[in-house]
Structure 1
């Protein structure tokens, strides 16, 4: 592992938000492609999913989601429930940032895609009694759109459309469908 990656990983643990954010942005950029250092920080990130600092919980979900494509051992298959738990966080910003990044797990392969879609469907259903359920549902539909833009498999599109049809409020059904229509035209 290169020294810069090691530095970024160390910075993630800083209590100084500027240092922590430097580590986060550095790792996020470095993980654009498949990397060989994912397991050097995997356990640290997994532990941060339950950290007392909501910023660290958010960073952990975002980085683990991005690193899923660099996970030949398929650890994500076992760790996915821990990421989904953060979509029920006490901090709503953490919920949204988590939901908006999970789609990247689907880039790792068919098993991970199926697990992700199943998890997002369950979350779509069970959020109905939450205060901001319409935003949660929007983020889920948007995540499916982002995944479909990268991996245009018909089951992703059909699943999203099926979820949208379950929305009883016509206003929100239209809003969610509008987000999906953007994807059908092509990536944004």
Structure 2
């Protein structure tokens, strides 16, 4: 890992919240493309998925989701359940940020794509007893849209449309459908 990226990870622990936020943004941006240093931080990020601080959990989940494209050993196939757990975090904002990022795991390969889609579909179908389930469903539909936009896989669109068709509330049906316009 180069010294610039090392500094970004170091700055996540800075006392100044603005420095922390800039480091967070820089790491997200730096992991949008494949990197050769993913395993330098992988184990620590995986550990941070269970950190007592919800900010650590959220950042770790988002960074790992981004780093899935930089995972030639396919560790994500083994580690996905721990990452997925954060999408159901006790802190809703942590859960939501994790859920909004999880689609990126699907960019790492066909097995990863299948795992992500399977989990998103199951969550969409079974989250109606969760608090804020309409937001969760919206994030799932948006995640599928994001995955579709990058991969241009028509099957993803069909899956999303089938999920939307199950929504009985017209307000949310229209909202979810609008994501695909």
TM-score (norm 1): 0.90
Please give the alpha-carbon distance, in whole angstroms, between the structure 2 residues aligned to 1:95 and 1:116.
15
Work out whether residues 87 and 99 of structure 1, in 8 Å CA contact, stay in contact via their aligned partners in 2.
Answer: yes
Please give the alpha-carbon distance, in whole angstroms, between the structure 2 residues aligned to 1:167 and 1:13.
42
Alignment: residue pair count: 181
* 2:65 paired with 1:65: yes
1:126 CA drift (Å): 2.2
Work out whether residues 107 and 151 of structure 1, in 8 Å CA contact, stay in contact via their aligned partners in 2.
Answer: yes
- The aligned runs of 1:1-188 (5 Å cut-off) are 1-14=1-14, 17-181=17-181
Q: What secondary structure sits across from 1:123 in the alignment?
A: helix
Please give the alpha-carbon distance, in whole angstroms, between the structure 2 residues aligned to 1:178 and 1:105.
24
Work out whether residues 9 and 41 of structure 1, in 8 Å CA contact, stay in contact via their aligned partners in 2.
Answer: no
Please give the alpha-carbon distance, in whole angstroms, between the structure 1 residues aligned to 2:86 and 2:51.
11
Please give the alpha-carbon distance, in whole angstroms, between the structure 1 residues aligned to 2:44 and 2:20.
14
1:169 CA drift (Å): 1.4
Q: Spell out, residue by residue over 1:6-35, the C-alpha distance to the aligned partner (whole angstroms, 9 max, x if none).
A: 222233345654443333222212112110
Unmatched 5+ stretches in structure 1: 182-188
1:158 CA drift (Å): 0.9
Q: Name whichever of 129-138 and 7-16 sits farther off.
A: 7-16
Work out whether residues 124 and 136 of structure 1, in 8 Å CA contact, stay in contact via their aligned partners in 2.
Answer: yes
TM-score (norm 2): 0.93
Please give the alpha-carbon distance, in whole angstroms, between the structure 2 residues aligned to 1:178 and 1:124.
17
